[in-house]
Amino acid sequence: MLTLRDPLWNTISVEPFALALIDTPAFQRLRNVRQLGLAYLVYPGASHSRFEHAVGAYHLARRALALLEDAGVLDDTLAADAGVVRAAALLHDIGHYPFSHALEEIGALHHEEVARPLVTSGRVAELLVSSLGADAPTRVIALIRGESASPLQGLISGSLDLDKIEYLRRDAFMCGVAYGEIDAERLLHSLTVVADPDTGARRIGIVEKGLAALESLLFAKYQMYRNVYWHHAVRSATVMYKRLVADALDAGSLDARSLAGFTDEALLAQLERDHPSSLLTGLRQRRLHKRSFECPAAQLSGDECEWIADDRALVARVEAALERELGLAPGDLLLDYPAKTQMLGLDMPVLRRDGSVLGLTARGWTGAIDLPKLSEDLYRSARWLRVFTANRTEISPTPLLRFLKKSPGDVRALVNAGATLLG
């Protein structure tokens, strides 16, 4: 076993087959893909990479599996899945794009799908087959995509997956904030395998005494979104990057099929060479667009403004129309409404002290976790609709919000007609 020193988990032991996977070019690329994208422009310490996060997730997988074995719930059938689970934890981010999730917001293939050919062919697949069996690549990608029938699926993708524990702890630590301080040891010791009360199928669950630690994880996730992931300056940099890459793709300066092969700096260098722009200069020199309008999701109802998160082509046309109407240059105005995320989702069985099993879902559990309204309120307080401009620009909020609240069809019709949008 090789041991690695890690600032978060201290000492990480790596078995030979995992070390061989780490040494592949596909995995080594993750050293140069930042875990938090452009958040380092706001939190200088947020320069950690997908590489150390993936190794940390592997460490937690080894720890969780050992604890399950000590608890006597890892029978021969589950033990046969252990190596594949450790590999999936290590490889779960191997398909990530440069600068984290931003490119998925403009319609790029999801990173878990990008991972499929990297895991099921080439050197990674050869190592998985030689160490874990002929079907190992298929089983690993199924775990990564949340499609595995293994009872251990919840360790890789679920309400209390190891990825979530790792990134919340590491991101908070590297950003220098206290929001992600969750009780990881308590959570790991609380994991178990039980029969689902609805289906009877075995799956990862939690013992009742771990519920307080689970609550802390859910609130840590909310606080990290509110204060780090969706911080207004982080979102400004992110939306600048999204527009920059989208424009380069539209101009033919970038090929969408090549995006997942870049590191962060390699992509910026390619853009500097083939698609220079004021947006790229702004990111390089940290001249971020300013907030000229913002509105919390709590002031919106139903699906109002969701087209801004979902329809990149329409957003680009609206941005161009508003730029012309306000006398701004192309790229000077950017709309941002972060894509929906499941802020406090829950779906896992709880092993109660009396030996019974109760399904814990987003509908809550009276006396333990009652999250329905709280979850929605927290989510809506963290998510903001914003208009960023290169220089702070006076935009009348009432007509702007009235326009942005229109249905996608009405917005498209106004843009097609060349109508005044803020009249």
CATH number of the domain that residue 156 is part of: 1.10.3210.10
Confidence category of residue 160, pLDDT binned at 50, 70, 90 = confident
Residue 367 is predicted with a pLDDT of 52
Confidence category of residue 408, pLDDT binned at 50, 70, 90 = very high
| Burial (CB count <10 Å: 0-12, 13-18, 19+), residue 351 | buried
- Size (the chain), residues: 423
Residue 364 is predicted with a pLDDT of 57
* Residues in Cβ contact with 287 at an 8 Å cutoff, skipping those fewer than 6 apart: 281
User: Of 62, 68, 71, which Cα lies nearest the Cα of 89?
Assistant: 62
**Looking at the predicted structure, is the pLDDT value of residue 159 above 60?**
yes
Tens digit of pLDDT for each residue in 2-21? 999 999 999 999 999 999 99
Residue 381 is predicted with a pLDDT of 81
Is residue 131 a part of any domain in this protein?
yes
| The residue to which tokens 């958040």 are assigned | 39
What integer is the mean pLDDT of 337-345? 77
Residue 361 is predicted with a pLDDT of 74
Tens digit of pLDDT for each residue in 42-78? 999 999 999 999 999 999 999 999 999 999 999 998 9
Is residue 256 a part of any domain in this protein?
no
Ranking 17-31, 88-102, 107-121 by mean pLDDT, the lowest is 107-121
Average pLDDT over the chain, rounded to an integer: 92
Is residue 348 a part of any domain in this protein?
no
**Looking at the predicted structure, is the pLDDT value of residue 328 above 60?**
yes
Q: Which element (helix H / strand E) includes 89?
A: helix 82-91
Is residue 411 a part of any domain in this protein?
no
**Looking at the predicted structure, is the pLDDT value of residue 372 above 60?**
no
- Give start and end residues of each alpha helix (H) in 8-71: 16-22, 25-28, 50-70
Is residue 255 a part of any domain in this protein?
no
What's the Cα-to-Cα distance from 85 to each of 8, 92, 110, 311, rounded to whole Å? 22, 10, 21, 36
Give the 3-state secondary structure of residue 351.
Answer: strand
Count CB neighbours of 258 within 10 A: 10
In which domain, by residue range, is 194 found?
2-230
Q: How many whole angstroms separate alpha carbon 406 and alpha carbon 399? A: 11
Q: Which of 61-75, 105-119, 357-371 has the highest mean pLDDT?
A: 61-75
Is residue 56 a part of any domain in this protein?
yes
Q: In percent, how much of the chain has pLDDT > 70?
A: 95
Cα 89 to chain center, whole Å?
A: 15
User: Of 53, 82, 56, 57, which Cα lies nearest the Cα of 193?
Assistant: 82
* CB crowding 263-279: b at 16 or more within 10 Å, else e: bbeebbebbeeebebeb
- Locate 315 and state its tokens: 């957003």
Residue 219 is predicted with a pLDDT of 84
What integer is the mean pLDDT of 126-152? 96
Give the 3-state secondary structure of residue 34.
Answer: strand
Phi and psi torsions of 224, nearest 5°: -70, -40
Tens digit of pLDDT for each residue in 245-269? 999 999 999 998 899 899 999 999 9
Q: In percent, how much of the chain has pLDDT > 90?
A: 79
Residue 376 is predicted with a pLDDT of 65
Cα 75 to chain center, whole Å?
A: 32
- Locate 421 and state its tokens: 């949008």
Tens digit of pLDDT for each residue in 274-294? 999 999 999 999 999 999 999
What's the Cα-to-Cα distance from 382 to each of 159, 295, 370, 379, 397, rounded to whole Å? 20, 11, 19, 5, 20
What integer is the mean pLDDT of 217-238? 93
Residue 101 is predicted with a pLDDT of 83
What's the Cα-to-Cα distance from 257 to each of 8, 184, 245, 252, 262, rounded to whole Å? 35, 38, 13, 12, 11
* pTM (2 d.p.): 0.94
Helices 82-91 and 122-132: crossing angle, nearest 10°? 160
Q: How many whole angstroms separate alpha carbon 351 and alpha carbon 364? A: 15
**Looking at the predicted structure, is the pLDDT value of residue 107 above 90?**
no
Q: Which element (helix H / strand E) includes 373?
A: helix 372-382
Is residue 317 a part of any domain in this protein?
no
8 Å CB contact between 362 and 375? yes
Give the 3-state secondary structure of residue 143.
Answer: helix
What's the Cα-to-Cα distance from 109 to each of 14, 128, 309, 327, rounded to whole Å? 31, 24, 16, 35
How far apart, in Å, do the first and last CA atoms of the chain sit? 68
DSSP code string of 161-204: -HHHHHHHHHHHHHHT-STT---HHHHHHHEEEEE-TTT--EEE
**Looking at the predicted structure, is the pLDDT value of residue 211 above 90?**
no
Q: How many whole angstroms separate alpha carbon 404 and alpha carbon 400? A: 6
Is residue 55 a part of any domain in this protein?
yes
Tens digit of pLDDT for each residue in 374-396? 666 777 788 999 999 999 999 99
**Looking at the predicted structure, is the pLDDT value of residue 41 above 90?**
yes
Beta-strand pair 347-351/202-207: parallel
Give the 3-state secondary structure of residue 252.
Answer: coil
Residue 415 is predicted with a pLDDT of 97
- Domain total of the chain: 1
CA dihedral sign, ordered 67, 71, 72, 75: negative
